[in-house]
Amino acid sequence: MNRNGPTPSSPSTYLVTPKFAPQTNMIAIAAASAAREWRSCRPRASESGVMRRRRVHYPVLAARPSIRSLAPSRIRELFNEGLGRDDLLQFWVGEPDEPTPDFIRRAGMDSLAAGETFYTHNLGIPELRDALSKYLSRLHRPVAPEEIAVTSSGVNALMLASQLLVDPGERVVEVVPLWPNLQEIPKILGAQVETVALEFAPGGWRLDLDRLLDALAPGTRAVYLNSPNNPTGWTITRDEQRALLAHCRRHGIWIFADDAYERLYFDAGGVAPSFLDICEAQDRVISTNTFSKSWLMTGWRLGYLVCPPHLAAIAATLQEPITSCASSLIQKGGEVALGGPQECVDRFRTLYRERRDVVVEVLGPTGLLPVVPAGAFYALVDIGRSGQDSMSFAKSLLLAEGVAVVPGVTFGPSSDRFVRIAYTAADRDLRTGLERLRRYLLG
């Protein structure tokens, strides 16, 4: 495939121009639909002059097709299978096993006690955006507060970014396996989704860069990727990032980088390679992130995105009819998380690396763990010898051993020979569950 299509004729305009307000399209569609309905039911004169009405076939009450096509939660299906059992060892949810650090919780309580319960700026309180600017500038390139939008969770940041830029019918590419929520976001918006699967080999998960670049043909709107990756732990390399950024610059393609696990990276430096290290402020790059993983704030629902400043300003307008703003007291917790002692982030990364090593110790010699994850807190276990698909295996393991895992097919068909475990449980439970899993697979 020719990767050298024409450069967009107006790159500066194309860069900062989001799709027009979604309600504009919705109003036009609704008006056309109403007009058709009116024409179908208005009186019509017969040859005899008697006014008659046409028969009207009203649609069944239902959601729009793109919503009806969303995949049901396989984790929920498994959860229902395990209801009522108090002996389950749960490795299916990507959530830490301890609460948010005390100094962050106190900040939220102090904010509430101070009566800070009012609306804030659509893009977040200035103190939090300033704190994020300083934090990101330490980790990556200089990032101005004007490039930042605070959101009500990381997934809200991903949805907001997609709503800003992706219209129905536009083509996007996703690197899979991929978190199912992120898989569904462009589908909700009516986009055409193509996937490029990581390749599995004994040496680890690998991105076929040539295949990805071929998929990113001129006219593609965006590419979605998550690194470090949920569920594989795969992490994109700096050379791969440079090649991908150059290609997307050439063809005017947006990069949506889900960086939720960038601080849970187990190689040197403890921070995963980021597009924010190599892109310019005006590049077509949106980095989304969350406070959930690095600061154990899953229930707080606080995230943010980094994007070109003109786009961030438009995000404020889009944010208004969706969530308006993140909770004021939650934002205070985020501000203190960034400005407080950062030893907690290092401790959590060390803890998860140690738990990853427990997984390697128990499953590595058996061949069930073919790849050592480089980041995040997940591992894919090879169940190929079971002869079952991942959903059937996960159900049978749950019923027989009381071990709850996530079927690999949840993240795309390319990972159906695996199940995912989240090694966020306490060491004793982790070892017990891994031993049960090993026994069940190997006898």
CATH of the domain at 396: 3.90.1150.10
pLDDT exceeds 50 at position 241? yes
Residue 142 structural domain: 102-339
What string of DSSP letters covers 372-441?
---BTTEEEEE-GGGTS-HHHHHHHHHHHH-EE-EEGGGG-GGGTTEEEEETTS-HHHHHHHHHHHHHHH
Q: What is the pLDDT of residue 317?
A: 95
Cis peptide bond N-terminal to 228, omega within 30? yes
Poorest-pLDDT segment among 38-52, 201-215, 269-283, 384-398:
38-52
pLDDT in tens, 110-161: 999 999 999 999 999 999 999 999 999 999 999 999 999 999 999 999 999 9
CB burial string 75-113: b at 16+ within 10 A, e below = beebbeebeeeeebbbbbebebeeebbeebeebbeebee
Q: Indicate if 128 and 153 belong to the same structural domain.
A: yes
Q: What is the average pLDDT across 186-205?
A: 92
Q: Indicate if 325 and 347 belong to the same structural domain.
A: no
pLDDT exceeds 60 at position 373? yes
Q: Indicate if 296 and 391 belong to the same structural domain.
A: no
pLDDT exceeds 50 at position 287? yes
Q: Indicate if 283 and 423 belong to the same structural domain.
A: no
Domain-located, residue 327: yes
Domain-located, residue 224: yes
Q: Can you state the angle between helices 309-319 and 154-165, rounded to 10 degrees? A: 100
Rounded-to-integer distance, Cα 2 and Cα 218, Å = 9
Q: Indicate if 167 and 212 belong to the same structural domain.
A: yes
Q: What's the domain count of the chain?
A: 3
Residue 65 has phi, psi (to 5 degrees) of -55, -40
Domain-located, residue 1: no
3-state DSSP call for residue 112?
A: helix
Q: Indicate if 314 and 207 belong to the same structural domain.
A: yes
Q: Indicate if 40 and 117 belong to the same structural domain.
A: no
Q: What mean pLDDT is reported for the chain? A: 88
Poorest-pLDDT segment among 68-77, 138-147, 266-275, 347-356:
68-77
Rounded-to-integer distance, Cα 393 and Cα 299, Å = 30
Q: What is the pLDDT of residue 75?
A: 76
Domain-located, residue 318: yes
pLDDT in tens, 7-45: 444 333 334 445 544 444 444 444 444 444 444 445 455
3-state DSSP call for residue 336?
A: helix
Q: What is the average pLDDT across 324-352?
A: 96
Q: Indicate if 306 and 236 belong to the same structural domain.
A: yes
Poorest-pLDDT segment among 146-155, 199-208, 212-221:
199-208
Domain-located, residue 65: no
Q: Indicate if 143 and 219 belong to the same structural domain.
A: yes
Q: Indicate if 317 and 416 belong to the same structural domain.
A: no
Q: What is the pLDDT of residue 34?
A: 43
CB 234 within 8 A of CB 204: yes
Planar angle of CA 86, 87, 92, nearest 5 degrees: 95
| Helix spans in 189-285 (H) | 209-215, 238-251
Q: What is the pLDDT of residue 5?
A: 54
Domain end, chosen from 339, 358, 381, is at 339
Q: Indicate if 145 and 290 belong to the same structural domain.
A: yes
Q: Indicate if 148 and 190 belong to the same structural domain.
A: yes
